[in-house]
Structure 1
Amino acid sequence: MKFVLFLSGFIVLIIIWLVLDFRLGRRKHLLAANKVETGILHGEFELFTQGKEFFRSYFTEIQKAQKHIHVLYYIVKNDSLGQEFFTILKEKAREGVEVRLLIDRLGSLEIKKKEVKDLRNAGIHIAFSNRVKLPFLFYSAQVRNHRKISIIDGKVGFMGGFNIGKEYIDEDPKLSPWRDYQLKITGESINFLQSEFLIDWNEYADEKVFNQPEFFPKLMKGKIRHQFNPTEAGMLEIFFIQLIKKAEQSIIIGTPYFIPSIPIFNELLEARRRGVTITLIVPYTADHILVQEASYRYLRKLLKEGAQVYQYKNGFYHAKTILIDDRICDIGSANFDRRSLFLNKEINCYIYDPAFIERVRRVIKKDILDSKPMSLEDLTKPNLWRSVKETVAGAVCHFL
């Protein structure tokens, strides 16, 4: 009996600690976060949707670097693709190119001390972002740097959904082929990506790097109008609500995880009730436990309101995009879930060019053809096991 009382008291203390840790950590994060949104920029864009094609271009640009390579990733795995990536970076560093690699501490947990030592011995500057640290251990373990940014010689940039790992080049049997959206960017906006990388680098690395002129060459304007939105600590919710409010005809959302906040979901329902068509693309196969079950409560309501939901079946769908009418296209690192909305550091690009938006629309049309329509009947058939998982998913949806 005493043991049971002791155990119960211990569990209660743990719960109290977790709640206080999370709330105080979030308060500190909110106070420290800065809202940044660029003005309208002009550049040139190339869209990649298949990993092999993307990495072919990406590695080629890195190999062409002459001055500096700056890379920020959430996940870098220590597999065959990761080793190829490291080999190229080491070769460039030995040639005298400045190489800085910033990776998320938990997202890239596979990268061990030996590999870090080898990279540093080759001349690469490497740092880990978002370490788990006191005084808010639980909260800091949840907040990840989910951005994926690369800048080569201050002239070519990449951003989007791809990480570094063999599943992204279709070498995971369960999740192949991998479908993602990645941007290759040139033009004046590369200077902003460079600046954003250096902000994150200086926050986490021992080496402080200032805005040196060689990192910011004079760049020509391109034709595609766009702007960047780096977000953290709840900023993304505001931007998504603003996007939804602008819709007059249609909203298309592509996301691997659909777990919206209540204000965002209410805004979607309001858009539907004013006549806006809503189309949602999500994976048929999940890559994480409970993420599908966490979405079902929202999908039921959307289907009841006449929205269209498609489950992508030609592999795994990891794309992150929002299309508002034919006027705004959002592509970036952020998922349509609570982690991206409230915890992670993300970066998205809003594109306002009609021709590029039409290119994205054609890609989405292909994705819909490779999908299975979801019906309300699919989600309302009695299923005890699904109901249990939905209940659990609802309780922990903030952390999925």
Structure 2
Amino acid sequence: MRWLAIILILLFLLLLDYKWGEKVSKASVRKKIGVERESNLTLFTAGEELFDDYFAELERAKHHIHILFYIVRNDEIGQRFFSLLEQKVNEGVEVRLLVDWVGSFGLPSSLRQKSGQFAFANRPTLPFFFYKLNERNHRKITVIDGKIGYLGGFNIGKEYIGQDPKFGNWRDYHLKIVGEGVHDLQRQFQEDWKKATGQSFGNSERYFPPLQKGAMKHRFLPTDGKYLEEEFIQLIKQAKQKIIIGTPYFIPSKNIMTALLEAMKRGVQLTIVAPTQADHPLVKEAAYPYFRQLLRAGAHIYQFNNGFYHAKVIVIDDDICDIGTANFDRRSLFINYEMNCYIYDKPFIQHVKQTIERDISTSTLLTEQYFQQQPWFYRLKEIAATMTAPLL
């Protein structure tokens, strides 16, 4: 009984830490309204193609390289990444590397020292240690010479180029940005860098050079654990014909579920693409109660079979496409720091829709019968997943 009492007290203290920390953190978050920009955008969906282009652009850097990732692995790809950064530092290029403390936990100092100026983002501190342990910087931003930017779902590691036998092919969506929108990526990196280090690199032309407009209208949306829910709801309410959601984790809030169901009631077709396999415990089971409800309402839900599906994409009719770092789950909605890009260019949106159709062609259509055939212990896993959904 004594041990039970101790466990209950510890759980209560953790809950108090989390709730109080959440309240304090959210009180200081301001809403960021991105400005519509015009840039040239390139979509990458395969890690090898992305990193061939990414490393080539890093090689060409002349003045500075600013990088923020959630995960950087100490493996073959990570070694190549750090070796390249070390090379650029030796050439006199300013390199600033910011990685999430939890996502890249255990990254050896021998590698960190190669990357010029290095810092951990969102290192948990007192007070509210447990809440801050969950409050992760999930953004993945690169800015090269203030002229070229990258944003999306890929991190640095061998699994992202399909070399992890557990996952096989890794499907993700990542943008390359060339044009005036790069300034917004630079400003967000600067804000995150200053929060982590207390240092700012200023607003000189070196970091914010004059940029030409590109061909595609878009808007960046940074969120810090707040306001993403209302942004997604606004997207859903705009839909007239079709909503497409691609996500590795489907754990929506109650308000978003209500918006999706209301959209289907007014005749909007909802299509969801999610992975067949999971990369974290219980995240797959956490989606099942929502999937069953949406299937009954007429949604089309596909499970991707050709490896692991990690893309974060929303398409509203032929009008708006959202690609970025935010998953369709409560952690991204209410805890993580994220960065999304709303794209308004119709030819680009058609390209994204065709890409999603190819993903659907290697997927299985989910049915209610699938859930009826699941063993009883899967229901227990669903219950456990539902209870822990806010932190998954």
Bucket of the pairwise TM-score, normalised by the shorter protein: over 0.9
In the other structure, the counterpart of 2:176 is 184
Among candidates 304, 307, 330, match of residue 299 of structure 2: 307
Bigger mean CA offset, 206-215 vs 85-94: 206-215
Identical aligned pairs, as a percentage?
48
The 3-state SS of whatever aligns with 1:173 is coil
What amino acid is the match of 1:374?
L
Bigger mean CA offset, 304-313 vs 9-18: 9-18
The 3-state SS of whatever aligns with 2:250 is coil
In the alignment, the residues of structure 2 paired with residue 113 and residue 190 of structure 1 have an alpha-carbon distance, to the nearest angstrom, of: 30
Q: CA deviation at 1:69?
A: 0.2
What amino acid is the match of 1:198?
Q
In the alignment, the residues of structure 2 paired with residue 174 and residue 7 of structure 1 have an alpha-carbon distance, to the nearest angstrom, of: 38
Q: CA deviation at 1:234?
A: 2.5
Matched, 1:31 2:27: yes
The 3-state SS of whatever aligns with 2:351 is helix
What amino acid is the match of 2:255?
P
In the alignment, the residues of structure 2 paired with residue 125 and residue 159 of structure 1 have an alpha-carbon distance, to the nearest angstrom, of: 21
Would the aligned equivalents of 1:151 and 1:190 in 2 still touch at CA under 8 Å? yes
Q: CA deviation at 1:382?
A: 5.1
In the other structure, the counterpart of 1:45 is 41
Q: CA deviation at 1:113?
A: 2.7
Matched, 1:348 2:348: no
Q: CA deviation at 1:40?
A: 1.2
Q: 1:253-332 maps to which residues of 2 (within 5 A)?
A: 253-332=245-324
Among candidates 114, 127, 140, match of residue 119 of structure 1: 114
In the alignment, the residues of structure 2 paired with residue 233 and residue 99 of structure 1 have an alpha-carbon distance, to the nearest angstrom, of: 28
Deviations 1:111-131 (A, max 9, x none): 123332x326xxx00000011
The 3-state SS of whatever aligns with 2:195 is helix
Would the aligned equivalents of 2:29 and 2:226 in 1 still touch at CA under 8 Å? no
In the other structure, the counterpart of 1:65 is 61
Q: CA deviation at 1:213?
A: 2.4
Provide the alpha-carbon RMSD of the alignment: 1.0
Q: CA deviation at 1:92?
A: 0.3
Q: CA deviation at 1:210?
A: 2.1
Matched, 1:87 2:83: yes
In the other structure, the counterpart of 1:371 is 363
Normalized against structure 2, the TM-score is what?
0.98
The 3-state SS of whatever aligns with 1:214 is coil
In the alignment, the residues of structure 1 paired with residue 60 and residue 387 of structure 2 have an alpha-carbon distance, to the nearest angstrom, of: 49
Bigger mean CA offset, 353-362 vs 26-35: 26-35
Bigger mean CA offset, 29-38 vs 125-134: 29-38
In the other structure, the counterpart of 2:227 is 235
In the other structure, the counterpart of 1:395 is 387
Find runs of 4+ consecutive structure 1 residues off by over 3 angstroms.
none
Gaps spanning 5+ residues in structure 2: where?
Answer: none
Q: 1:149-228 maps to which residues of 2 (within 5 A)?
A: 149-228=141-220
In the other structure, the counterpart of 2:325 is 333
In the alignment, the residues of structure 2 paired with residue 10 and residue 114 of structure 1 have an alpha-carbon distance, to the nearest angstrom, of: 41
What amino acid is the match of 2:55?
F
Among candidates 134, 146, 149, match of residue 142 of structure 1: 134
Gaps spanning 5+ residues in structure 1: where?
Answer: none
The 3-state SS of whatever aligns with 1:209 is coil
Would the aligned equivalents of 2:159 and 2:167 in 1 still touch at CA under 8 Å? yes
In the alignment, the residues of structure 1 paired with residue 154 and residue 308 of structure 2 have an alpha-carbon distance, to the nearest angstrom, of: 12
Q: CA deviation at 1:206?
A: 4.7
In the alignment, the residues of structure 2 paired with residue 40 and residue 219 of structure 1 have an alpha-carbon distance, to the nearest angstrom, of: 15
Deviations 1:349-380 (A, max 9, x none): 00000000000011001000010100011012
In the other structure, the counterpart of 1:128 is 120
Q: CA deviation at 1:180?
A: 0.3
In the alignment, the residues of structure 2 paired with residue 382 and residue 316 of structure 1 have an alpha-carbon distance, to the nearest angstrom, of: 22
In the other structure, the counterpart of 1:110 is 106
In the alignment, the residues of structure 1 paired with residue 85 and residue 374 of structure 2 have an alpha-carbon distance, to the nearest angstrom, of: 53
Would the aligned equivalents of 1:26 and 1:233 in 2 still touch at CA under 8 Å? no
Would the aligned equivalents of 2:171 and 2:311 in 1 still touch at CA under 8 Å? yes
Normalized against structure 1, the TM-score is what?
0.96
In the alignment, the residues of structure 1 paired with residue 77 and residue 339 of structure 2 have an alpha-carbon distance, to the nearest angstrom, of: 24
Alignment: residue pair count: 392
Deviations 1:131-180 (A, max 9, x none): 11101111001010000000000000000000000000110112111000
Deviations 1:207-256 (A, max 9, x none): 43222221000000111011000012221101100100000000000000
